[in-house]
């Protein structure tokens, strides 16, 4: 029961931090320093990624009408604009997918540690503040998903690549920073980031599951299911909050949060 309660805690942290641009993986790694699941190292590595499937399901539920390309009640029943959106999503996934498939183990060994997480938190926190201050004087060029060009989504994909390399960067944080930098407004940047997470996390989860194998113990199944279910429920709330928040506010508060957290983490491990 104690391990199940820990899984709930990890699910809450995943559901909150996956969509706010503050790094879910970074927070999960840091939480593990203080609340450690009594599981094998291989299971923990898999759990850290696969728990994100719960968060992904929340995106599918909330944005179903924007991402499902078929409607049998209308003619034509295939929505060409959504098909094109998915092609753009796949294009944006290519850089991170290539690097992840080739260098997954090497990147884990090099950068999945608290000091690297802290540095990434601080650097991208500063980036949020600088870019939002810059954008005060500029008007966004892209106000809807259908205005995203293939060049634009590929550039966003390159920023996502940074998150794939450095935990603590935040996948959502990196893609939102990239989108804001090239003139995408906040709402479109957030929505495209959510949609981009679907194939990325599905692919990453499948890779980790195949590497771990499917010989789960009953306790491991329970921990994984509870973590994913909790992440799903919390994500439903957090995504709604974020979409309402950014209609009236910028992302600077998340930048300051990242900087403060990064500094505290560095001080903790130095002292």
Tens digits of per-residue pLDDT, 119-145?
888 998 999 999 999 988 888 899 999
With beta carbons less than 8 A apart as the criterion, state whether 208 and 46 touch: yes
Pick the residue with more confidence: 161 or 154?
154
The 8-class DSSP code of residue 251 comes to S
The confidence score (pLDDT) of residue 195 equals 95
Kindly calculate the radius of gyration of the chain based on its CA atoms and give it in whole angstroms.
18
Q: Above 70 in pLDDT, residue 104?
A: no
Is the pLDDT at 166 greater than 80, yes or no?
no
Q: Which residue range is the domain that position 61 belongs to? A: 2-270
Q: How would you classify residue 35: left for phi > 0, otherwise alpha for psi between -120 and 50, otherwise beta?
A: beta
Q: Residue 118: pLDDT band by 50, 70, 90 thresholds? A: confident
* Nearest alpha-carbon partner for 258 in 172, 195, 157, 137: 172
Q: What is the mean pLDDT of residues 85-100?
A: 88
- For residues 126 and 255, the answer to whether their CB atoms sit within 8 Å is yes
What distances in angstroms separate CA 231 from CA 3, 36, 102, 182, 251, one per listed residue? Answer: 16, 18, 28, 31, 23
In total, how many domains does the chain have? 1
- Position 107 scores a pLDDT of 66
If DSSP codes are grouped into helix, strand and coil, which group holds residue 242? helix
Q: Residue 116: which H helix or E strand, with range? A: helix 114-135
pLDDT of residue 215 exceeding 90: no
Residues sharing a CB contact under 8 Å with residue 215, sequence separation 6 or more, in sequence order: none
- HEC secondary structure over 84-96: HHHHHHHHHHHHH
Alpha helices in the chain (DSSP H): 2-17, 24-34, 41-50, 52-62, 64-67, 80-111, 114-135, 150-165, 171-181, 186-212, 218-245, 252-270
- Region 62-79 average pLDDT: 84
Lowest mean pLDDT among 21-30, 55-64, 90-99: 21-30
The owner of tokens 């920023």 is 159
**Could you tell me how many helices (H) and strands (E) the chain has, helices first?**
12, 0
Alpha carbons 74 and 197: distance in angstroms, whole number: 28
Q: State phi, psi for 138 to the nearest 5 degrees.
A: -125, 155
Reported pTM:
0.87
Q: Check whether 164 has a pLDDT greater than 80.
A: no
Mean pLDDT of the chain: 88
Question: Residue 169 — pLDDT band, cuts 50, 70, 90?
Answer: confident
Above 70 in pLDDT, residue 26?
yes
**Which band of pLDDT confidence, cut at 50, 70 and 90, is reported for residue 82?**
very high
How much is the pLDDT for 105? 67
DSSP, residue by residue, 136-174: TTS--SB-SGGG--HHHHHHHHHHHHHHHHSTTS-HHHH
Position 76 pLDDT exceeds 80: no
User: Is residue 203 exposed (0-12), middle (13-18) or buried (19+ Cβ within 10 Å)?
Assistant: middle
pLDDT (average), residues 38-63: 92
pLDDT digits (tens, 9 = 90+) for 177-212: 899 999 999 999 999 999 998 998 888 888 889 888
pLDDT value for 67: 93
pLDDT, tens only, 229-251: 999 999 999 999 999 999 888 89
Question: Which of 56, 47, 57 lies closest to 223, judged by CA?
Answer: 47
Look at residue 114 and tell me whether its pLDDT is greater than 90: no
pLDDT for position 2: 87
């Amino acid at each position: 029961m104690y391990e199940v309660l820990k899984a709930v805690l990890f699910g809450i942290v995943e559901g909150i931090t996956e969509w706010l641009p503050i790094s879910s993986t970074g927070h999960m790694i840091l939480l593990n320093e203080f609340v450690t699941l009594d599981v094998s190292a291989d299971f923990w590595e898999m759990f850290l990624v696969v728990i994100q499937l719960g968060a992904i399901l929340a995106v599918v539920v909330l944005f179903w009408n924007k991402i499902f390309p078929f409607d049998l009640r209308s003619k034509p029943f295939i929505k060409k604009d959504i098909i094109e959106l998915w092609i753009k999503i796949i294009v944006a996934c290519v850089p991170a997918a290539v690097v992840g498939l080739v260098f997954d183990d090497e990147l884990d060994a090099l950068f999945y540690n608290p000091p690297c997480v802290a540095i990434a938190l601080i650097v991208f926190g500063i980036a949020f503040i600088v870019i939002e201050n810059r954008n005060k004087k500029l008007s966004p060029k892209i106000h809807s998903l259908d205005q995203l060009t293939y060049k634009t989504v590929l550039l966003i994909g390159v920023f996502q690549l940074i998150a794939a390399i450095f935990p603590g960067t935040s996948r959502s944080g990196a893609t939102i920073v990239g989108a804001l930098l090239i003139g995408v407004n906040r709402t479109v940047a957030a929505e495209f980031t959510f949609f981009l997470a679907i194939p990325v996390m599905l692919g990453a989860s499948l890779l980790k599951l195949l590497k771990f194998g499917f010989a789960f113990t009953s306790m491991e199944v329970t921990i994984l299911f509870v973590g994913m279910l909790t992440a799903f429920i919390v994500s439903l709330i957090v995504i709604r909050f974020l979409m309402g928040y950014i209609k009236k506010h910028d992302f600077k508060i998340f930048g300051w949060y990242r900087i403060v957290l990064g500094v505290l983490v560095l001080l903790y491990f130095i002292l």
